[in-house]
């Protein structure tokens, strides 16, 4: 297998994620008792496990590995790691504890495992390295806080291109530049997948490759799936991207929603998109109400078709923020000034500050927007700070633009 | 606003909460030099915050790992399929990729940096 034959033999043989690789190597070189453990986060195929093995080899460390295929309950882990913890230094061996796929340790079958790891982090006489596939998982937030994090991104296509090109040259097979580029695009940053495809499809022309690849089923993370969905050129491609997403329908709707409200859309486009999203959401609610799971098969198609029609291409991209940042910043930075103004005004107008904000403020700002001097006098009269003037002027501009 | 990954840049005052969010996303701040995206920064999050806060387009562009030139992502064959423009730490420029010995040159530069 090429993937074995061309597996990197040293840290220098790898490509991509240079800063994380160098950072991890230095972390391990400088590790002292009491140092934080390392947490490598990144999608499968980005080189986390390979890096740990190669770095340990380079520094002469003996790896004790517990991966997802092991049952990692507290008892099992104690049994495996206990002797090492007690006999540290006895045989002059320098161990390294490697816990692969720690994000999968939260299942029932690994009961007590996480608590054991957290305890181990405090008293380990050997460096602990953990690896996780997902970073947006709330489950590993605590580990992130307590660890030195190294993030591993999907490999940039150009790095993959030169790596595959090198293999093709060494294997002396016929493979054009265009064909290599098709393979690299299809692998989406997963070097293992690219090398496997290169071996199985070696010798095919670019045209033949295209037809083989288009017939393959692909699997996306939610982020990748929604990115492909928002950039899809046809309804069918949009549907395929959504269908191949490894996520629940509820998550698809939630993240499509946050992406849409953060997108660069006009009011009409936004309304149409949210209506489409509402149709898909209705399917989920109906399933929850009636437990008719067979309806689920229509979900991806409804979501894809209705949103594809409503969303102009390139104007929406993946976003997890529940509120657009310009709005958040207004709420954080400007709400205090507006509250102060309405509180002061309430004394003059004998109304509650809430009423001032919801009923009078817009009209008042509209009137004052015509003349900056009046606005300045207004702020002085209310006994407010100068910074409030700036916020009120900005708010007045918004009111005028809405009229 | 276009910023090269790893370089210092200045931002207008955005308020405490935005500052905290940017720091959490991996941006570092130095009073004298401004802001910089660290190697493990979540560039997607930073771009999203800054696009909203500045109310203008904001983009990170990578530098070529081997020759240090700024990369024009728009002219790249992988532009549509690539997450480099928002996610990666380094990339290679067109000239370095098409040099027949690209992988060896890359490795030589990497070894120098590791040492």
- Look-up: residue for tokens 């580990």? A143
Same domain for A146 and A167? no
Residue of B90, B94, B98, B112 to mutate, testing the A interface (most A Cβ within 10 Å of its Cβ): B90
Same domain, B15 and B39: yes
Are the Cβ atoms of B40 and A231 closer than 8 angstroms? no
**CATH code of the domain containing A33:** 3.40.50.300
The separation between CA A73 and the C-alpha centre of its own chain, rounded to angstroms, equals 28
User: Chain A residues with CB inside 8 Å of B50's CB?
Assistant: 325
**Nearest-neighbour CA in chain A from B16: distance (Å):** 8
A347/A344 Cα distance (integer angstroms):
6
Q: Which residue has the tokens 């997948």?
A: A193
Q: Please indicate if any CB of chain A lies within 8 Å of the CB of B112.
A: no
The total number of structural domains that make up chain B: 2
In the prediction, which pLDDT does B46 show? Answer: 87
With CB atoms and an 8 Å threshold, state whether B89 touches A20: yes
Shared-domain flag, residues A332 and A397: yes
Shared domain for B92 and B45, answered yes or no, is: no
A203 and A246 co-located in one domain = no
* Residue span of the structural domain in which A80 resides: 17-152
* A173: in domain: yes
Residue B4 contacts A, CB cutoff 8 Å: no
Total tally of structural domains belonging to chain A: 4
Task: Tell me whether residues A19 and B76 touch, CB distance under 8 A.
Answer: no
Least confident interval from A34-48, A52-66, A220-234: A220-234
Nearest residue to A139 (alpha-carbon basis) of A100, A116, A109, A105: A105
Residue A24: per-residue pLDDT: 92
- Let me know whether B9 and B57 are in one domain: yes
Q: Is B64 exposed, middle or buried (0-12, 13-18, 19+ CB in 10 A)?
A: buried
| Cα gap A172→A2, rounded to integer Å | 13
Residues of chain A found within 8 Å of residue B51, distances taken between Cβ atoms: 325
Between A75 and A252, the more confident residue is A252
Residues A25 and A146 in one domain: yes
Q: Tokens 């009409």 map to which residue?
A: A268
Q: Which residues of B touch A188 (CB under 8 A)?
A: 81
Q: Which of A105, A136, A152 is the last residue of a domain?
A: A152
Record: contact A325-B103, CB cut-off 8 A? no
Query: Do residue A368 and residue A259 come from a single domain?
Result: no
Asked, for residue B55, whether it belongs to a domain, the answer is: yes
Domain boundary among A177, A197, A214: A214
Q: Is the pLDDT of residue A216 over 70?
A: no
A184–B78 CB contact, under 8 Å = yes
B89 interfaces chain A, CB cutoff of 8 Å? yes
Give yes or no: residues A33 and A100 share one domain. yes
Give CA–CA dist A20/A17, Å, rounded. Answer: 5
Per-residue pLDDT reduced to its tens digit, B1-40: 888 888 899 999 888 888 988 998 889 999 999 999 876 6
Q: Of A172, A196, A173, give the one whose Cα is nearest residue A184.
A: A196
DSSP class per residue in A352-388: -HHHIIIIIHHHHHHHHTT-HHHHHHHHHHTT--HHH
Hey, are the CB atoms on A159 and B48 less than 8 Å from each other?
A: no
Q: Does residue B86 form part of some domain?
A: yes
Distance CA A339, CA A157 (A): 51
* pLDDT tens per residue, range A243-280: 887 778 888 999 999 889 888 888 888 999 999 899 88
Q: Is residue A353 part of a domain?
A: yes
Q: Choose from B88, B93, B113 for mutation: most chain A CBs within 10 A.
A: B88
Handedness of CA A286, A290, A296, A298 (dihedral sign): negative
Reply yes or no on whether the pLDDT at A195 is more than 60.
yes
Residues B13 and B52 in one domain: yes
pLDDT at A53: 93
A249-261 and A267-290 helices, crossing angle to 10°: 160
Chain B contact set for A319 (CB, 8 A): 48
Does B22 lie at the interface with A, CB-CB under 8 angstroms?
no
* Domain membership flag for residue B68: no
| Beta carbons of A27 and A38 less than 8 angstroms apart | yes
Considering only the beta carbons, identify the residue of B50, B91, B113 that sits closest to A156. Answer: B91
Please indicate, yes or no, if residue B67 is contained in any of the structural domains: no
Q: Is the pLDDT of residue A321 over 90?
A: no
Residues B95, B104: Cα–Cα separation, whole Å? 14
Answer yes or no: is B9 within a domain.
yes
Q: What is the CATH number of the domain that holds A168?
A: 1.10.8
Cβ atoms within 10 A of the Cβ of A251, count? 13
* Rounded (5°) CA angle A277-A280-A282: 110
Shared domain for A276 and A349, answered yes or no, is no
Same domain, A116 and A178: no
Backbone angles phi, psi at A340, to 5 degrees: -60, -45
d(CA A172, CA A346): 83
Does residue B90 sit at the A interface (CB-CB below 8 Å)? yes
Q: Across the A/B interface, how many CB contacts are shorter than 8 Å?
A: 118
**Residue A170, min C-alpha distance to chain B (Å):** 13
What is the per-residue pLDDT for A176?
79
* Least confident range of A71-85, A154-168, A368-382: A71-85
Instruction: Say yes or no: A121 and A179 in one domain.
Output: no
The pLDDT score that the predictor gives to residue A274 is 92
- Across the interface, whether the CB atoms of B48 and A319 are under 8 A apart is answered yes
For the ranges A18-27, A133-142, A182-191, the lowest mean pLDDT is seen at: A133-142
Q: How confident is the model at residue A143 (pLDDT cuts 50, 70, 90)?
A: confident
Decide: residue B59, CB within 10 A, 0-12 exposed, 13-18 middle, 19+ buried: middle
Q: Which domain holds residue B96?
A: 73-114
B113 three-state secondary structure: helix
Q: Is residue A321 part of a domain?
A: no
Of all residues in chain A, the percent with pLDDT exceeding 90 is 7
pTM, 2 dp: 0.67
């Amino acid at each position: 297998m090429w993937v074995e034959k061309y597996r990197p033999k040293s840290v220098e043989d790898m490509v991509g994620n240079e800063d994380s690789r160098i950072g991890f190597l230095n972390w391990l070189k400088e590790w002292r008792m009491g140092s934080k453990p390392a947490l490598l986060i990144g999608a499968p195929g980005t080189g986390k496990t390979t890096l740990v093995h190669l770095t340990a080899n380079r520094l002469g460390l003996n790896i004790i590995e517990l991966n997802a295929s092991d049952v990692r309950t507290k008892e099992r882990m104690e049994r495996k790691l206990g002797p090492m913890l007690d006999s540290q230094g006895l045989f002059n061996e320098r161990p390294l504890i490697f816990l692969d796929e720690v994000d999968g340790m939260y299942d029932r079958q690994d009961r007590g495992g996480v608590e054991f790891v957290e305890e181990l982090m405090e008293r380990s006489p050997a460096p602990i390295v953990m690896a996780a596939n997902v970073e947006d998982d709330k489950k590993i937030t605590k580990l992130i806080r307590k660890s030195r994090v190294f993030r591993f991104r999907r490999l940039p296509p150009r790095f993959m291109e030169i790596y595959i090109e090198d293999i093709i040259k060494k294997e002396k097979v016929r493979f054009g530049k265009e064909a290599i580029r098709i393979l690299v695009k299809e692998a989406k940053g997963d070097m293992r997948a690219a090398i496997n495809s290169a071996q199985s499809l070696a010798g095919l022309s670019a045209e033949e490759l295209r037809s083989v690849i288009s017939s393959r089923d692909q699997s996306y993370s939610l982020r990748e799936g929604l990115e492909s969905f928002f950039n899809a050129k046809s309804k069918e491609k949009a549907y395929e991207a959504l269908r191949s997403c490894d996520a629940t329908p509820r998550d698809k709707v939630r993240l499509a929603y946050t992406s849409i409200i953060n997108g660069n859309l006009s009011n009409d486009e936004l309304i149409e998109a949210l209506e489409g999203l509402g149709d898909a959401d209705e399917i989920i609610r109906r399933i929850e109400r009636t437990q008719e799971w067979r309806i689920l098969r229509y979900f991806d198609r409804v979501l894809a078709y209705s949103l594809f029609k409503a969303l102009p291409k390139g104007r929406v991209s993946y976003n997890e923020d529940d509120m657009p940042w310009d709005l958040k910043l207004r709420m954080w930075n400007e709400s205090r000034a507006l509250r102060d103004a309405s509180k002061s005004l309430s004394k003059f107008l004998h109304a509650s500050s809430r009423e001032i904000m919801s009923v009078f403020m817009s009209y008042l700002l509209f009137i004052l927007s015509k003349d900056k001097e009046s606005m300045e006098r207004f702020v002085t009269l209310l006994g407010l700070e100068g910074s409030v003037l700036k916020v009120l002027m900005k708010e007045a501009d918004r009111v005028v633009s809405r009229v | 606003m276009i910023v090269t990954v790893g370089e210092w840049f200045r931002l207008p005052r955005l308020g405490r909460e935005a500052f905290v969010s940017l720091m959490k996303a991996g941006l570092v701040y130095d009073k004298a030099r401004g802001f910089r995206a660290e190697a493990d920064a979540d560039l997607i999050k930073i771009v999203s915050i800054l696009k909203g806060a500045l109310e203008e387009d904001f983009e990170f562009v990578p530098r070529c790992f081997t020759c240090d030139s700024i990369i024009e992502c728009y002219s790249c064959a992988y532009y549509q399929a690539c997450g480099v423009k928002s996610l990666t730490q380094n990339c290679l420029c067109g000239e370095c990729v098409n040099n027949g010995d690209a992988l060896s040159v890359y490795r030589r530069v990497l070894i120098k940096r590791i040492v």
